[in-house]
Structure 1
Amino acid sequence: MRAGKGIGEWFRSVNYERLFFAIHRLTAIYLVLYIFPRPYLVLIHGSWEEALKLDMTPLGKLLATLFVFSILFHGINGLRIILIELGIIKGWPRRDPIRPVPALRTSTLHLLLVALTVVGTIIGTALGLYLILYGSEVWP
């Protein structure tokens, strides 16, 4: 690496497909671990109101915010993966059989969908956090 390339050189060889794949798997695990114990909490505590007392704590609000982020990212990235599998858009990594260094194809639609995935996840998480912290009474 030559000097003077700037901070962009750090992220030049980042494989976004692998990064999104890893986050997709982590969000799937979190969604399963967040959703499936819910009915058992109601059975253990005896009523839904008692089981929801955890959600009113700061830890419960943090877990709910992570749940909203997980749903948004997992869903939007899943749609992007479906579009890649159907051949509507092109994925980014393409392996050169001689050199094992990943080369990148450029696809404007794919870049746009990646940007929409990131922006949609950020906006949805912010909205979910707002509703979790301030409740739906302040929503017009």
Structure 2
Amino acid sequence: MRAGMGIGEWFRRLNYERLFFILHRLTAIYLVLYIFPRPYLVLLYGSWEEALKLDMTPIGKILAAIFVFSILFHGINGLRLVLIELGIIKGWPVRDPISPRPALRASAAHKLLIALTVIGTIIGSALGIYLVAYGAETWP
């Protein structure tokens, strides 16, 4: 593998780890692009209430729903990555060098955490999208 392949390296061998890597990077970019222009919108429109009118449009609600998904996925996947880095969840080496399998097998805890990442992101995003679309007043 040569250095400096750029974004093309993200898609070289697509598996769930690489997919999570791509989504982690994309959600980070979206979070930065969604959060940092907010103060400038307030300055542009003159007041916070005027700036929030953009969020009440259908496009604003879609962007807010994507924001909820992004923050949930990025946070849960970040926790999974911290646990991998700390060695709490890890794989073990495959001993057969001829077989074209991945270098590490996923442990049961790693598979469970991946499932929890996906399920937590789906449930949290669905709840967040509901609250964004219908407002917190309708929440029981």
TM-score, shorter chain, exceeding 0.5: yes
Question: Which residue matches 2:121?
Answer: 121
- State the 4+ residue runs in structure 1 displaced beyond 6 angstroms: 96-100
* 1:101–1:47 distance in 2 versus 1, CA, 3 Å: same
Distance in structure 2 (CA, Å) of the matches to 1:25 and 1:111: 21
One-letter identity of the residue aligned with 2:118: V
**Aligned residue runs from structure 1 range 1-140, under 5 A:** 14-90=14-90, 102-140=102-140
* 1:114–1:42 distance in 2 versus 1, CA, 3 Å: same
Task: Count residues in correspondence.
Answer: 127
Where does the alignment leave 5 or more consecutive residues of structure 1 unmatched? Answer: 1-12
SS of the residue aligned with 1:102? Answer: coil
Judge which range, 41-50 or 83-92, deviates more: 83-92
- Percentage of pairs with the same residue: 79
Distance in structure 1 (CA, Å) of the matches to 2:66 and 2:92: 27
* 1:99–1:73 distance in 2 versus 1, CA, 3 Å: same
Alignment TM-score, normalising by the size of structure 2: 0.82
Distance in structure 1 (CA, Å) of the matches to 2:93 and 2:15: 7
Offset of residue 138 of structure 1: 1.0
Alignment TM-score, normalising by the size of structure 1: 0.82
Quote the RMSD (CA, aligned, Å).
Answer: 2.3
Offset of residue 117 of structure 1: 0.4
